[in-house]
Amino acid sequence: MSDQPRDAHVQSRKIRISFPNESISAVADLLEADCPNTCEAIWHLLPLRVKAIHDIWSGHQVLAHLDNKFVLPPENVLTYLPIPGDIFYYYRPPHYFRGSPYGRSESAEIGIVYDRDTRPQGPRGPEAVSLFANISSNLEGFARACEDMICRGQKDLLIEKLG
């Protein structure tokens, strides 16, 4: 009998995240062992083409807003200091914060961290996010395209299944 866990030979599913108008892409591994429900829900949502914006408020991170009906409970929660390549899901229900304009806003989003000194946060401080994937190839090229958004603005982002 082998000393390896039963599922050790099973590789995680992979996704490609790209800026299709620039021919820039990266590959990410879904963290299915740590975040199975979120990974499964995101997998079934793909392919997904959305507008991505730079979230300079949080550091070196880009965000893509999803349909607010895409609501998932927290899972594999990360509050501080993600690492470059981390990809997360976040949902904020309406009236989560007091006051306008954010207090009445509902938001579902995917965030992609491309460099250090990043902390997902909202108008009142750090946010708990569900870490569901990590970029495993071409983070450097993808990061340059993300950083370019600081000056050039939003870009089309495509997230799709690999394999």
Asked if residue 23 belongs to a domain, the reply is yes
Q: Tens of pLDDT along the chain (163 residues)? A: 444 444 444 578 999 999 999 999 999 999 999 999 999 999 999 999 999 999 988 889 999 999 988 999 999 998 878 999 999 999 987 766 666 555 557 789 999 999 998 888 776 677 889 999 999 999 999 999 999 999 999 999 999 999 7
Asked if residue 151 belongs to a domain, the reply is yes
Nearest to 161 by CA among 14, 2, 20, 30: 14
Asked whether the bond before 47 is cis by omega within 30 degrees of 0, the reply is: yes
Asked if residue 7 belongs to a domain, the reply is no
Q: Using CA atoms, how far apart are residues 118 and 77, in angstroms rounded to an integer?
A: 16
Can you list the alpha helix ranges (DSSP code H) found in the chain? 36-45, 139-152
Helix, strand, coil abundance in the chain, percent, nearest 5: 20, 40, 40
Number of structural domains in the chain: 1
Asked if residue 8 belongs to a domain, the reply is no
Asked if residue 102 belongs to a domain, the reply is yes
Could you say which DSSP state residue 8 is in?
A: T
Asked if residue 44 belongs to a domain, the reply is yes
Strand partners, 61: 113
Q: Using CA atoms, how far apart are residues 138 and 122, in angstroms rounded to an integer?
A: 28
- CATH of residue 48's domain is 2.40.100.20
Asked if residue 32 belongs to a domain, the reply is yes
**Burial status of residue 48 (CB atoms within 10 A of its CB: 0-12, 13-18, 19 or more):** middle
Asked if residue 56 belongs to a domain, the reply is yes
Range of the domain at 150: 14-162
pTM, full prediction? 0.88
